[in-house]
A and B are shown apart, each in its own frame.
Chain A
């Protein structure tokens, strides 16, 4: 459905996307996980044919973005990082004017807009002005707007960045619905929980390059242990304590505020730490996440 080989984007001396390969299948939820500035949004814009690639091959829904932008965007639903709603218009009119950009007849667009407001749980706000909506409502409206043309694939750039936890869950629920109905979802995120929740398959990107690819669970299996023990000894003592617990678990990461001990059995690792006469201030055993995968691959955390 979407296929890239050696895809590159250069701005002057800066390489935003450095020769990446990926293939997205119909009906899957595919994610680009990486920190800010990894080149995720640039990749999304190249897929949407709103950013011209510097080199490499890119095929989107059977077309080359360089020559067939309109044909590609006719089939896509785009949810940009900034909502880009028309704040002067009412909620319903935002959907109607957007639908007209696809040349859809006005009566059809109006009917479809009502249905999508229902989907986005904004029916009560249909006559409200956009500038009065909360961040989560604006985001849902943007998603509804992206669905107006019945797209074959949705491109979601950081769909929940800046939203509070409750608003994120409402949004995830809506995206799940789309996924269940077979819409292809392509999303970027720097939230590992979002990637785990929504993506069937993802690529981990860092500094414009893909460093790993797979399903969330496969990536965790491959690059991390089943469990992680997090221990804190106080920021001045973490490094010293880390030396003393060396050998416990399969790997140890020392972060400024805590030490991570990777072991399939976190409780056993904790017992081993205690056996060495160390008393951490706090300790916690949790399952490995994509955050650990990213840390392992790049030596840095996702959100800095």
Chain B
């Protein structure tokens, strides 16, 4: 049976400075949330690394080399967008992977945090508040995304796909897009209170179509006009365009640079604010 009393009392006030606790939580609450989720990720770190390294490798070999042979044979020396198909494809694949990871984590993590393992309510019982939960959750997702992006970029550098420095630039671009997608998914999922199968709609009817119609596997301009708008609203297209400019110097006018970055920042900021509003309402019972 238990005996020891904790430093002069189990709940003895005085050993913890509660005013300092409140100050630190007001400033760093988002980080404590991220820390919690990162700690939870440690239990599947091995499989994450294997998937992180294995899947870009398979995709690049399968699509880039296999399909690339066919495409390059048909395109002759001009390639696609002026470069071999593998180089054209790689940045968009990296971005598509980041989008998928972010959307999945935000779908099931956010729904689960309210419903399956209602951790958001437990967090809300500590000094931190809803905005911290929203931000911290996204930071943890970005850490996960970063791990797979780094793996992807390493494979690209290893196989000398594009400019190595440009490949490194894919990291910040991917993170920006993953944040925008993450907050967007979160802002919708947070409003869902029952799982009636609608959660998988995001994957099937948003992520997959966006991947197919965002100029991932072929330049957006080759799509008929009636479908090109999908690319314009797709965070993936904006990020892929930035990635291509970074990796092999695809032409990018300054105005378009602003449009691509601005679109991602705006999408992320607006849906972040919406997420915070929804979290605040849902946690204030």
Which of B3, B25, B43, B284 is close to A101, meaning CB atoms less than 8 Å apart? B25
Complex Cα distance, B285 from A294, in Å, reads 27
Complex Cα distance, B43 from A87, in Å, reads 12
Complex Cα distance, B112 from A86, in Å, reads 11
Assess whether B108 is interfacial by the CB under 8 Å rule: no
B1 to A121, Cβ gap below 8 A?
Answer: yes
B129 to A104, Cβ gap below 8 A?
Answer: no
Which of A74, A89, A104, A119 is close to B22, meaning CB atoms less than 8 Å apart? A74
B128 to A101, Cβ gap below 8 A?
Answer: yes
Complex Cα distance, B195 from A218, in Å, reads 49
Give chain B residues whose Cβ lies under 8 Å from the Cβ of A86: 36, 40, 117, 119, 122
Give chain B residues whose Cβ lies under 8 Å from the Cβ of A42: 285
Min C-beta distance of B269 to chain A, whole Å: 24
Which of A82, A150, A154 is close to B16, meaning CB atoms less than 8 Å apart? A150
A-contact 0/1 string along B3-45, CB 8 Å cutoff: 1111101111111101111101110110011011001100100
List the A residue with the shortest CB-CB distance to B33: A101
Complex Cα distance, B2 from A96, in Å, reads 20
Min C-beta distance of B23 to chain A, whole Å: 8
Assess whether A168 is interfacial by the CB under 8 Å rule: no
Complex Cα distance, B284 from A98, in Å, reads 20
Which of B13, B19, B126 is close to A150, meaning CB atoms less than 8 Å apart? B13
Give chain A residues whose Cβ lies under 8 Å from the Cβ of B11: 77, 147, 150-152, 154, 178, 181, 183
Give chain A residues whose Cβ lies under 8 Å from the Cβ of B29: 101
Complex Cα distance, B129 from A71, in Å, reads 11
A80 to B16, Cβ gap below 8 A?
Answer: no
Residue count of chain B within 8 Å CB distance of chain A:
47
Give chain B residues whose Cβ lies under 8 Å from the Cβ of A98: 122, 126
Assess whether B71 is interfacial by the CB under 8 Å rule: no
Q: By CB atoms of chain A within 10 A, which of B10, B35, B127 has the most?
A: B10
B39 to A89, Cβ gap below 8 A?
Answer: yes
Complex Cα distance, B18 from A78, in Å, reads 15
A152 to B10, Cβ gap below 8 A?
Answer: no
Which of B7, B16, B126, B285 is close to A73, meaning CB atoms less than 8 Å apart? B126
Min C-beta distance of B194 to chain A, whole Å: 17
Complex Cα distance, B125 from A98, in Å, reads 10
Complex Cα distance, B11 from A119, in Å, reads 11
In the complex, chain A residues 52-80 whose Cβ is within 8 Å of any chain B Cβ: 52, 68-71, 73-75, 77-78, 80
A103 to B28, Cβ gap below 8 A?
Answer: yes
Assess whether B121 is interfacial by the CB under 8 Å rule: yes
Min C-beta distance of A61 to chain B, whole Å: 8
Give chain B residues whose Cβ lies under 8 Å from the Cβ of A120: 2
Give chain A residues whose Cβ lies under 8 Å from the Cβ of B36: 86, 97, 100-101
A-B contact pairs, 26 of them (CB 8 A): A69-B129, A70-B25, A70-B127, A71-B19, A73-B125, A73-B126, A74-B25, A78-B125, A84-B117, A87-B117, A88-B40, A88-B43, A89-B39, A97-B35, A100-B35, A102-B25, A112-B6, A115-B6, A119-B10, A121-B1, A147-B11, A150-B11, A150-B13, A152-B13, A181-B5, A181-B10
Task: In the A-B complex, list the 10 residue pairs whose CB atoms are closest, starting with the nearest.
Answer: A103-B24, A101-B126, A84-B122, A70-B127, A74-B21, A74-B22, A78-B125, A183-B11, A97-B36, A150-B16
Instruction: Please give 17 more A-B residue pairs, beta carbons under 8 A apart, in addition to A73-B126, A84-B121.
Output: A50-B283, A51-B285, A70-B22, A70-B129, A80-B125, A84-B118, A85-B117, A87-B117, A89-B40, A101-B29, A102-B16, A102-B25, A150-B13, A150-B15, A178-B11, A181-B9, A183-B10
